[in-house]
Amino acid sequence: MPPPEDSSQPRLAAGCRWGAENKTGAEQERVILFPEGAIRLQGTGRQILERCDGQRTFAQIIEELQAQFTVADPAKIRADISQFLEQLRHKRIVDY
pLDDT value of residue 2: 80
- 5 within a domain of the structure (yes/no): no
CB 40 within 8 A of CB 29: yes
Asked whether residue 3 is domain-assigned, the answer is: no
State the 10-residue block means of pLDDT for the chain, 96 residues long. 90 94 65 92 92 97 94 94 96 94
Give a yes or no: residue 1 inside a domain.
no
Q: CA 76, CA 72: separation in Å to the nearest integer?
A: 7
> Which of 8, 50, 51 is CA-nearest to residue 32?
50
**CA pair distance 51, 48, nearest whole angstrom:** 5
Tell me if 2 is assigned to some domain.
no
Residue 59 sits at φ, ψ, to 5 deg, of -60, -40
Q: Count up the domains in the chain and report the number.
A: 1
| Predicted model pTM | 0.86
Give the CATH number, domain containing residue 77: 1.10.10.1150
Rounded to an integer, what distance in angstroms lies between the CA atom of residue 76 and that of residue 91? 23
